[in-house]
Amino acid sequence: MPTINVQLFEGRTQEQKRAFVKAITEVTVQTLGATAESVDIIIHECKRENWATAGKLWSDQE
């Protein structure tokens, strides 16, 4: 059973997340031969203040 963990900044709509998990599930089924029912996707939403790249918080880059 594939379990896919995704980390995203907060702010996506429910509609965007629904479309995203549908697309990821379809690709996983096509590429790994898994059944859709066996694909779990966990979305971790992070605040920009809790994520940094190159030593800078994303909240400081807005």
Q: State the catalytic residue, choosing from 1, 2, 16, 31.
A: 2
| Residue 57 burial (C-beta neighbours within 10 Å; 0-12, 13-18, 19+) | middle
31 is catalytic: no
Query: Which amino acid does the sequence have at 41?
Result: I
H/E stretch holding 25 reads helix 14-32
Active-site residue numbers?
2
